[in-house]
Each structure stands twice: as C-alpha cells, then as structure tokens.
Amino acid sequence: MAGLFDKQAEIYVEARPTYPKEWYSKLAALTPQHSLAWDVGTGNGQAALGLSEHYEQVVASDISEAQLKHAIQHPRVRYIHTPTSISDDEMVNLIGGGHENSVDLITVAEAVHWFDLPKFYSLAKRLLRKPGGIIAVWAYNRMLVNPDFDPVFDRFRENSIPFTHPNSKYVRAAYKTLPFPFESVGLGREGEPITVEIPKECSFQVVERMLRSYSAVTRAKDQGVDLLPEEVIKEFQRAWGGHDLVRSFKYEAFMLVGKL
C-alpha cells in the first residue's frame, strides 16, 4: 500500500489542497487540553501543520517513507514512519510515549479509507485522552470549478472507478458508509457526515499535477492504461480556460468528528 503513495510523493506537496484554518480552530475548541495531537496518514504533513498552531506537540505518522521525505518541517511536528508491521503496543510507545489516554486530538485527512479500520479504531481508542479526546476524519472527492469543467472531472472520476482500490468506495459514497464507532459531538455521526468545502486557488498546471497524483491514475498506469492521455488533458485545460489561468474553486469534502 505504501508503494501506491510513494510514486506520487513529489507532486503531492504542491498539488494537494491544504485545509481551512478554521477547521483546526473548531476541532481544537472541542478538546479541553492541548498537549498532543496525532495526524495519521499525514502524507506531507498538510493537516499536521494546521494542528501545530493549537497543540504543544504534534506527532504525524505515515506508512510511506517517500511521503514523509517531502513533509513540511515544523518545530512542533514530529514525523514518524510507521510501517504496518509495527505492533499496537509499539505504536502506543511511538505516539503517546508509552502512555494510553494521552492524545487530545486525532486527525485523519484523506486517508482513513486506506486503513485497516477495526485495527486503527481500536488503537485510536487506546490513545485518545479519556475523557476529552476527539477524533476527526475527512476526505474530499469532487472539484467544483464551473459548468464546463465539472462534467469533464466527473467523467474522469467515472473512468477511474475500475482502477480504484476497493476502499475508495468510502470516498465515492462521501463517507456515508464509512464505519465510525464514536459518539457524536454535533459534527456528523456514523452514516451522516457533515459536508464542508475546501477552497483552493491555482493554475491549471497545478490541477494537472493534482489529477496525476490520484492513486487510480498510478494503479491504471501499472496496468498499462493512461487515464490522462493528451486529449483528456486538453479537454480539461479548455474547460479550465487555459494552462496559466489562475482560478478559485472548491473541493467538496465531508467530515466525521466524534468522541469515545
């Protein structure tokens, strides 16, 4: 699984969206203490950086060393490589310094659907502070640009389906089917995520890199299929309005927040 993300690591850092600052303030306001946050599946640390403004320490973990190599450094963020072979007890050592009940906030941005969910949730329950610990998971799927671009993007997503990992079904269903065994705190609950938006401003050049960073594109390429041939890129570019044109647009996102 890590290999799937290794290949896109370099383009991730520039092309993938960062999340609105208000999300972190809102989540931080839910935890009574602000000692330790854990960003899981951190990639290049997009969410870890946001958390560092609110927590004394942020541990940011990922199974992909290549992703971590491109992570954005910050004095309060400690990146750790956590291959799936690591036992839960070792994870408690690495994340909580050997202490269960030590993590104030766990975030998983655009990643929880890749995890072994029962295993992850059981570890999260050990590590979350009791009472007071909060877990938040979110993801995004559609780009909302304009009436010309959006159908091209939706067609690209349709064509990608045969090459998506089975777990991508949770993203396609906007996390409505994602198991989330936590008590609601008013920001979604299992089966009923809240809908949120991620604003982004960039040129088509960056959008093209973002499209190329999709795991389905890598999986298709491994099977000899190009989901982004020249004519599709041209169609995207035309609908965007030109290669260098900078546009503001939104990603449609969904979030579940809970406590024990």
Ligand X SMILES: C[S@@+](CC[C@H](N)C(=O)[O-])C[C@H]1O[C@@H](n2cnc3c(N)ncnc32)[C@H](O)[C@@H]1O
Site residues for ligand X per CB under 6 A:
1-2, 5, 16, 40-43, 46-47, 62-64, 67, 82, 84, 109-111, 114-115
Q: How far is the CB of 30 from ligand X (least distance, A)?
A: 20
User: Residue 225 half-sphere exposure, CB side, CA atoms within 13 Å?
Assistant: 12
Which C-beta is closer to ligand X: that of 95 or that of 237?
95
Nearer to ligand X among residue 2 and residue 194 (C-beta): 2
Closest separation in Å from C-beta 184 to ligand X: 23
Residues 250, 228, 165: CA angle, nearest 5 degrees: 75
By the 8 A CB rule, do 97 and 7 touch? no
CA atoms of 187 and 200, how far apart (whole Å) = 23
Choice between 109 and 124, CB closer to ligand X: 109
> Is 92 within 8 Å of 127 (Cβ atoms)?
yes
Q: How far is CA 71 from the centre of its chain?
A: 14
Side-chain half-sphere CA neighbours of 226 within 13 A: 6
Nearer to ligand X, 63 or 128 (CB): 63
164/184 with CB nearer ligand X: 164
Q: How far is the CB of 234 from ligand X (least distance, A)?
A: 26
Distance CA 57, CA 77 (A): 6
Instruction: Tell me how far, at minimum, the Cβ of 12 lies from ligand X, in Å.
Output: 7
CB 37 within 8 A of CB 103: yes
- The residue number with the shortest CB distance to ligand X is 43
Cα angle 188, 189, 191 (rounded to 5 degrees) comes to 110
CB 152 within 8 A of CB 236: yes
The set of residues, in sequence order, having a beta carbon less than 8 Å from that of 120 and lying 6+ positions away, is 40, 112
- Smallest distance from ligand X to CB 150, Å: 21
Nearer to ligand X, 36 or 71 (CB): 71
Give 50 or 133: the residue with its C-beta nearer to ligand X: 50
How crowded is the C-beta side of 10, counted as CA atoms within 13 Å?
1
Report, in Å, the least distance between residue 165 CB and ligand X. 10
Shortest Å distance, C-beta 77 to ligand X: 13
